[in-house]
Amino acid sequence: MKDKRLEEMKMEYENIEIPAELKSRVSMGIQQAKEEKQQERGRQHSCPIWIRPCAGVVAAMIAFVIVVNSNANIAYAMEEIPVLGTIVKVVTFSSYQSKDEDMSADIQTPQIEVEEDSNMKDAAQQVNKTVKEYTDEVIRQYEKDVEATNGQGTENVTTDYEVVTDNDTLFSLRVNTTVALNTSGVTIKIYHIDKKTGKMITLPDLFQENVDYKKILTDEVLKQIKEQMAKDENVTYFVDDDATKWKWQGITDDANFYFNEDGCLTMVFDKYEIAPGYMGVCEFTIPKDITDGILADSYK
Residue ranges and CATH numbers for the domains of the chain are 1-201 (3.30.565.40), 202-300 (3.90.640.20)
Question: Distance between CA 255 and CA 252 in Å, rounded?
Answer: 5
The mean pLDDT value of the chain amounts to: 76
Residue range 149-167, pLDDT digits in tens:
876 778 999 988 999 999 9
Residue 44: Cβ-neighbour burial (10 angstroms; 0-12, 13-18, 19+): exposed
Between 9 and 68, the more confident residue is 9
Average pLDDT over residues 272-282: 95
Question: Distance between CA 63 and CA 180 in Å, rounded?
Answer: 13
Lowest mean pLDDT among 2-6, 152-156, 189-193: 2-6
Judged by DSSP in three states, 158 sits in strand
For 191-252, the three-class secondary structure string (H helix, E strand, C coil) is EEEECCCCEEECHHHHECCCCCHHHHHHHHHHHHHHHHHHHCCCCCCCCCHHHHHHCCCCCC
Q: Give, for 70, the enclosing helix (H) or strand (E).
A: none
Nearest to 134 by CA among 156, 154, 159: 159
Q: Is the pLDDT of residue 280 over 70?
A: yes
Long-range contacts of 51-55 (CB under 8 A, 24+ apart): 51/26, 51/141, 51/145, 51/155, 51/179, 51/181, 52/25, 52/26, 52/27, 52/28, 52/141, 53/24, 53/26, 53/134, 53/137, 53/138, 53/140, 53/141, 54/141, 55/26, 55/28, 55/141
Residue range 71-118, pLDDT digits in tens:
333 333 333 343 443 368 998 898 999 988 889 999 999 999 999 889
Question: Distance between CA 93 and CA 128 in Å, rounded?
Answer: 9
